[in-house]
Amino acid sequence: MADRDLRVSDAEREHVGELLQKAVGLGMLSLGEFTERMDTALAAKTRGELNAVLVDLPGIRLTGQQAPQPQYPPTGPQYPWPGPWHHGNPWQGGRGRIRHPRPAWGRPRPMPVAGGNVIRSRMSSVIRKGAWQVPPTLYLNNRMSSITLDFTEAVMATQVVELQIDDVCSSMTIVLPPEATVDANEVEMIGSTINSKVRTAPLGPLHLVLRGQIRFGSVTVKYSLGDRWRRLMNGF
């Protein structure tokens, strides 16, 4: 079987997505081209299909063989091994030394790999509403998805809930109960928007803290429709 016909993993698709994001930052791709190529990359099943989105980008060497895994450099989600699509060998340093690759621009902290505190989606629609259990820290790892988090009837373990966001090309809606507050000042945005219609202070019975990174996506934080209607009728 030819190398181009080998199947690819989610990690390889995500790495190619990071290269496309870097190409946007360098002015090589427009947002429209980025979206089109991300669609192709996320749907790719073989190396040949995945290579197609990178073939005209300068400085990216496409190979069919996996580079050898070094013994020392970190291999967790924050420093993924580039696999068959990489800029040369990132571990090759001068005089035989091994140097660490620089993290992708503004990459947020790695997501946990298991547990009930992770929402991970790819080109999907995710809705959490009703009496769902909310952990103290909720990790959101989404690509080209629609996410709705309704906290109006949710069961919280703590007064302060932290959302750690790693998002690309997604739309997120957060619905909060009356008197809840939110802090969205620690989110890094790249070609994105955050529209908050919720108070930031004083600290409410539920306080939501947003952290992480949003790339080419949007977040809307609002109170429930019923609460907004009551506020309107009461002149707030």
- Helical segments of the chain, H only: 10-25, 31-43, 47-51, 225-233
Position 94 confidence tier, pLDDT thresholds 50, 70, 90: very low
Percent pLDDT > 70 in the chain is 70
Per-residue confidence (pLDDT) for residue 97, from 0 to 100: 38
Furthest-apart CA atoms within the chain: distance in Å = 73
Assess whether the previous peptide bond of 135 is cis (omega < 30° from 0).
no
pLDDT at 44: 87
Least confident of 13-27, 58-72, 131-145, 150-164: 58-72
Residue 233 banded pLDDT, cuts 50, 70, 90: low
Across residues 143-153, what is the average pLDDT? 93
Which residues, 6 or more positions from 152, have their beta carbon under 8 angstroms from its beta carbon? 129, 175, 176, 177, 224
Tell me, letter by letter, the H, E, C secondary structure of 43-108.
HCCEHHHHHCCCCCCCCCEECCCCCCCCCCCCCCCCCCCCCCEECCCCCECHHHCECCCCCCCCCC
Q: What is the pLDDT of residue 68?
A: 36
Query: Residue 58 contacts by C-beta under 8 Å, 6 or more apart in sequence?
Result: 28
d(CA 164, CA 161): 10
- Walk across the sheet containing 118-122 and list its strands: 118-122, 137-143, 160-168, 207-215, 181-190
pLDDT > 50? residue 226: yes
Which phi and psi (to 5°) does residue 185 adopt?
-80, -10
pLDDT bucket at 232, cuts 50 / 70 / 90: low
Does residue 228 carry a pLDDT above 80? no
| Structural contact between residues 135 and 158, judged by C-beta atoms closer than 8 angstroms | no
89/113 Cα distance (integer angstroms): 27
Look at residues 211, 207, 161, 167 and name the one whose alpha carbon lies nearest to residue 186: 211
pLDDT of residue 99: 39
pLDDT tens, position by position, 29-82: 887 788 888 888 888 899 888 888 888 887 665 444 343 333 333 343 333 333
Q: Is pLDDT larger for residue 116 or for residue 124?
A: 124
Residue 75 near residue 90, CB atoms below 8 Å: no
Structural Rg of the chain based on CA atoms = 21
* Confidence (pTM): 0.57
